[in-house]
Every structure is written in structure tokens, then in C-alpha cells.
Chains A and B, each alone.
Chain A
């Protein structure tokens, strides 16, 4: 007699591991870095140093959260460094004219939104690949910053309220770090639990399917570049407030740090897959490596080599060891 039996349900722990392999592996890597630098240097775990690391990581984290949205839609924003520099320079110029700083902050955030939306419009509604639009943006926006400042650094004077944004402390934490934490939590909630976040993932996962079920696919694509623009403006303001000046040479190479942090966090460049938690861990890992190597008295020129190598190794581990059915290449899409 044949007996019919039901297949046992897979263990919840295995499902959990498979689904969160990306975040778990970067978390493991991050804690390995913490342990390594605590053991090899005396000062790494000092409170002052930790606060310093998160203060410096704040602008990267803010933009990386926005970049996670962009990359989840399958796009990329190469212009973030130039956007930061432009806002940084323009904010200093306007402050130097004597306008009140809260007004400058609001105007700059709106300006970032406009610049971001313009790039989003070309990408979403005109069908130009994001890589090309934002590569052009990288050149154009940095050019504007250079032209406006003529390459000089513009000092900001007598704006203590503004400086507090970059240098102040609240509840024992640096203000930029607090702002970054708020942005990261906001990003986490939006992508996980809101209708908009679901639409962003859907568009990145299968744009045509999202369109067919009536989602405003083009608008969603454009909107993530708008978010990126606002985040860049915020980062540019925080950097200006910390350094007390605006410069067209701010945030050179910033886009690469941001993209590295996002990708290190397990977000797929093919779109659809990504987490804010991974991005936070990726950002902190890069910040900790940079800081730790300096504390170990290793040549700062060497930092770039190590950072690059670690990105490669971490992602290699991620693709080959922690998950067996994951790849970055074209094999991802069936």
C-alpha cells in the first residue's frame, strides 16, 4: 500500500540564515575588524576615537542610505561626490553673503532635491542609463563648484548655530552622527515597511512587472535620485559645518566610498536586493579600517590598497562562501 506523507517544513533557522546571509557576513567582517584593531592598537577602543570615527562616517552613511535606494532600483549615482562639493561651496558662498543659516540649510536641501530630480528625469523619463547621466553630473556639478569658487576655499564666519551641526554634541554623541542615525533608521523603515519602499524594490526587481500592476514606475525611478540629491545636500552641509569652510575640492572620491559601502553591505548592483542594515555595517567597516590603519601607524597611502583589497575579499566571501546561489554577474537574472 502506498502511503502519502507531507514533506517536512524546512527549519526556520536555515531559512533565516539563507535570507540574511549578506548582512550576517558583513556583520561578521565588521566585528572581526573591531577585534583586530582593538588587539593591535591601544587607542582604537577609546571613546574619543569611536566618536571620531562615527563623526567622520556620518556624511558617508547619510549618502549611502540614499544610494541604497538608488542601487535597489538597479541604478547608480556617480555624481554624489560632486553634488556634495557643489552644495558645500554654494552654502559657504551664501552664508558669506550674510543670509541666516537656517534659511541656507533649507534652500540647500531644496537645491539638492532639484539637482537630484533633474538627473532622475533624464534617467527615468528620457531612458538614458543612470551611469551616463550621473557620470555627466559628476563632471558638470564639480565644474560648477570649481567655477563658482575659482578653486579657492571659502571660509564661513560667525555662524555658531551652523557650526553646531558639524561640531556639536548632543547626549554625548556628535550631532552629525545623530543626524546620520536618524536618516539610517528612516531609510530602514521606509524600505522595509512602507508602500513606497515596496515600490522601490518592485521596480528594481522587475520594472515591467511593476509597470503592469499599475505602479508609477518612472516616477519611482526619478524619486530615488531626488532622495540622493537631498542626502548629498545634507552631507555637504554637515561637512561645511565641521570644517567651517566650503570648497570645490570637498568629497573627492566620495562616490566610490559610498558605492563601496553599499555594495559591501550586500546590495546587488543588479537591483531588487539590498538592506539598510547592510549599508550601515558596510559604511562602518570602511570607516573603521581607515581609522584603524592610521592608528597602527601604517602609511596613509597604504590605506587605499587595504580598503580596496578588503572590499574585494569581503564580496568574494559573500558570493562564494556565505551563499551558494548568489552572484553579481548576469547569471542573476533569468
Chain B
């Protein structure tokens, strides 16, 4: 499988703290991204490359700029400076719809679900199947069941309003929505924070599965042990900058923790 060999090439052809590779061109390439909110410099010039079929772990303390960076890739925020290139072509998003049309999907930390709409409606939010102006509820219901079954997500009643569901079920719906429409880039901001053991396993399995299909994944998580099970590379953010990039084989928990809290430079 092409994606599999790419994956191996990506892992083997690297070395050092800042890996350079001769493999495939990056799918997403960020250069000098800056974002300022009022007087707060959220991002101070971040470069980041994301390759097809890899999972990049994005770690850092709270307010390090992880969420802001991923929201820029998903078009939710517009950067003040810097460039975004998707598959070599420079793009300028004017909103989330632009990013979505390039198959960039994101699971937001706040999940971005509509509480008053049922499970099916939330899964198809923004891409409702319709016959003329009318919603095709029957088709969407059948498709939604297939989507959830494929991800081994168990929700008994798909016509229940999302507000009635547990935190874990809500999170599962947000993940299913992002993962089910053939994304090329899948960004997950704390996707496992409210999930139970079996569900976390399912999400990690999902990440490995979509990776094998060539999807580029960005995973933000505070559960560092998860990173070692799915990620190929880890980027560490600190105070709005990227301070380190590590290949997963060349780092360990201790090293990561030091980098996150800012003791990496003292080594």
C-alpha cells in the first residue's frame, strides 16, 4: 500500500531535533504564522509542516498556542502574518468554509455541536443531504448509523437531541462528524478528554486507521502516553512559539515533559 511505504519512509528518513526529509511534499506547510489578540501575542512566528499519512502530536502548556494554531489551519482564525500552503499551493482562507472545502476537518475542544438538533442533524451539520429544499432525513439517518458503526460508537437513539447525551457521547459525535467525510487533514483538539477507556482506544484505533489511508492528523492532547501510540512526530509549543520537534522514536515522556515546561534549553 502506497500510504504504508510513505509512512515508513517518513519515519526512517529523519534525524536530529528538527527533522528534514526527502520524502513526499508536505500536505500543509505553515511559515511564520503570527496571531495577535488585542495586546496578547498568541502566536509569534510558527513554522510547521504536516505530511500525508502522519500523525503530528502538538503538545504544550495551557495557553501555549496549540488551539490557536490549529484554528488557523481550519480557517476559524485568520493569521495576522505568515503563509499557509496546502499541497504546495499557497491559500488564504476567508473562513472555515474555505478550509472545509479543501477537506480540512477539525474536532474542536468545545465540540461545536448544536444542542437542540438531533444526533443525525449534528453529524450532517453544514452538509445536509437534501432533495430540493427538503432534508432527506431517511437517507441521513441510515448514513449516520453506518458512520457511527464504522467508528464503533454506540448511541441508541439517533433522533435524540444532542443535549440529552453524555459528555463522552457528544465528543464521539464531534469526532465522527470530522472523520467521516474523507478528510485529508484531520485536526483533533483534546478529542479524548471526556472519553471512557474503551472509547479512547477506539479513537486511537481510528487515528491509526485514517493515517494508513494517507490522512494527515494533528492531535492535541494532555495525555502524553497516547502520543506514543499514534504519533510519528511531536511538536512542542511554548508561549506562542514552536520550541522543538521530535521523532517519536527519539524521545520519551521525560524529554517531552522537560520541553513542555521549558527546561529543555538547560540540557
Contact = CB atoms under 8 A, between A and B. Distances in A.
B114 A212 contact: no
A205 B115 contact: yes
Interface in A189-206: 193-196, 198, 201-202, 204-206
B114 A206 contact: yes
A142 B25 CA distance: 64
Given A211-B96, A212-B108, A15 B157 contact: yes
Contacts of A210: 114, 125-126
Nearest to A217: B95
A195 B131 CA distance: 9
B116 A273 contact: yes
A232 B59 CA distance: 55
Given A196-B133, A198-B128, A205-B114, 17 more contacts: A10-B157, A194-B130, A194-B133, A195-B134, A195-B135, A201-B117, A202-B117, A205-B115, A205-B117, A208-B112, A209-B112, A209-B113, A210-B125, A213-B112, A213-B126, A214-B127, A215-B126
A209 B173 CA distance: 14
A205 B116 contact: yes
Nearest to A7: B156
A244 B220 CA distance: 68
Given A19-B161, A210-B125, A215-B126, A272 B135 contact: no
B112 A206 contact: yes
22 contacts: A9-B157, A10-B157, A193-B137, A194-B130, A194-B135, A195-B135, A196-B133, A198-B117, A198-B121, A201-B116, A202-B125, A204-B116, A205-B114, A206-B114, A206-B115, A209-B112, A210-B126, A211-B95, A212-B96, A212-B106, A213-B100, A214-B95
B197 to A, nearest CB: 15
Contact of A212 (B112, B116, B133, B156): B112
Nearest to A12: B157
Contacts of A204: 116
Nearest to B118: A19
Contacts of A215: 125-126
Q: How large is the interface on B (under 10, 10 to 19, 20 to 34, 35 or more residues)?
A: 20 to 34
Contacts of A209: 112-114, 125
B134 A193 contact: yes
B76 interface: yes
B128 A214 contact: no
A198 to B, nearest CB: 6
Q: How large is the interface on A (under 10, 10 to 19, 20 to 34, 35 or more residues)?
A: 20 to 34
Contacts, number: 74
Contacts of B116: 201, 204-205, 272-273
B93 to A, nearest CB: 11
Interface in B64-106: 74, 76, 95-97, 100-101, 106
A214 B96 contact: yes
A9 B134 contact: no
B100 A15 contact: no
Nearest to A18: B164
A303 B102 CA distance: 60
A198 B100 CA distance: 19
Nearest to A190: B133
A272 B115 contact: yes
Nearest to B116: A272
Instruction: Select the residue from B76, B112, B160 with max chain A CB neighbours within 10 A.
Output: B112
A209 B162 CA distance: 13
A209 B135 CA distance: 19
B126 A9 contact: no
Would you list the 8 A-B pairs with minimal beta carbon distance, nearest first? A213-B126, A214-B97, A272-B116, A209-B112, A205-B114, A205-B116, A212-B96, A213-B125
A202 B113 CA distance: 9
Nearest to A268: B116
B160 A206 contact: no
B177 to A, nearest CB: 8
Nearest to B128: A195
B76 A212 contact: yes
A202 B162 CA distance: 12
Contacts of B134: 193-195
A6 B259 CA distance: 45
